[in-house]
Amino acid sequence: MPDVLPDSRTHVARGVVRAPGGNRVPIFCANCAAPYGTVHEELVSRVFALCSRCEEVHGIPAHLCKESDADFWEKVLGAQIDHAGRPMTEVELVTELDNPNSLFTKLANEWRSLSRKVP
């Protein structure tokens, strides 16, 4: 298993706030468990938070992060440009996802394996 940073959300959904645009889930410092704000439930697959105090004491963790959401979506856009020479339409992507051997299906499976939804 690759080294990945721990998820800073709780395993059980507690303290979820209903907000315009969707629910916001509380996150906590991965080291000391201090409250560290909220994130939109539907917009993140993982989140890692380290409070300022813990960052000062322990430093920023290096060489542990598997891949951020932004890096993943950049990879998807690159695959679209390699495949079609441009960003693909939704219909084209759905067609590609129907093919179990497609690069896009492999990327989607990779995303699902890294994602954990808050129950």
Distance CA 69, CA 55 (A): 22
pTM: 0.50
Question: pLDDT of 33-53, one tens digit each?
Answer: 999 889 888 877 788 888 888
Q: Which residues of the chain register pLDDT less than 70? A: 1-3, 62-70, 114-119
Distance CA 98, CA 95 (A): 5
What is the per-residue pLDDT for 68? 60
What is the per-residue pLDDT for 119? 40
Distance CA 104, CA 98 (A): 9
Instruction: Give me the residues paired with residue 24 across strands.
Output: 17, 40
What is the per-residue pLDDT for 42? 80
Distance CA 71, CA 65 (A): 11
What is the per-residue pLDDT for 105? 93
What is the per-residue pLDDT for 72? 78
Which token pair is 118? 């808050």
The answer to whether the beta carbons of residues 30 and 48 sit under 8 Å apart is: yes
